[in-house]
Copies of this chain bind each other. A is one copy, B any other.
Amino acid sequence: MPSLNDVSISSDSNSAPGQWNGSDRASVILREAAKLFSERGYGGASMQEIAGAVGITKASLYHFFKNKDEIHSTVVAMSVRRLLDLVEESTADCATAAEKIEAFSRAHATHLSESKAFYFASAEGYHDLVEPGMKLRVQRMRDGYEEKLRMFIREGVDNGEFRELDVKLAARALISCLNWMARWWRPEGPQSAQQLASDYVHLLIAGFRSD
């Protein structure tokens, strides 16, 4: 039986992304649950329905997870953890602030396009986290995500790459574009989520530039 620490939010979570595509029972449960939560919200999906989607009995489901809350909070935490990992990996080798901001945004888009169900279950499900410790950990991860973008923008201001600007507002504008994109972007559409993210960054960064 996976614990929250194993599956989702251990400090080294290298194993987590792989597990999303895994065929082991716990991975399948989390994937089917993410789909149901993303479609109907936390309240709209029952243990019975999750079991049905996996093709096991409700009783078997309880061999893997204590209750619906544990499944839900694992899905939310895995998603936020994955987003953070993608951002971390993709920005590591960038030189300029502009490159870091673009890599950050493309990582966000990659998470959306790779894991739409997890993305939405997490984006909408954060407010349904009930266990205070879990809520706090996820909140800290989300704050870390936003702070990372602010840090890149601040770096660009400090090194003269960007003009003096309201860093918090600039970060929020870009995150608004990325979050709103998630509401309308479709994989079958003409543009990849990553390309759209780059386009937004180039548009906004033109306003950040100091020259």
Please give the residue numbers on chain A whose beta carbons come within 8 Å of chain B beta carbons, in ascending order: 163, 165-166, 169-170, 172-173, 175-177, 179-181, 199-200, 203-208
Bound-state CA distance A203–B175 (Å) is 14
Given A173-B177, A176-B176, A207-B208: 10 more A-B contacts, CB < 8 Å: A166-B199, A169-B203, A170-B203, A172-B177, A173-B200, A175-B180, A176-B180, A176-B181, A177-B177, A206-B207
Main secondary structure, interface of A, reads helix
B204 touches A169 (CB 8 A): no
Tell me the smallest distance from the CB of A165 to a CB of chain B, in Å: 7
Query: Which chain B residue shows the least CB distance to A180?
Result: B176
For residue A175, which residues in chain B have a CB less than 8 angstroms away from its CB? 180
Contact B207 A203 (CB under 8 A): yes
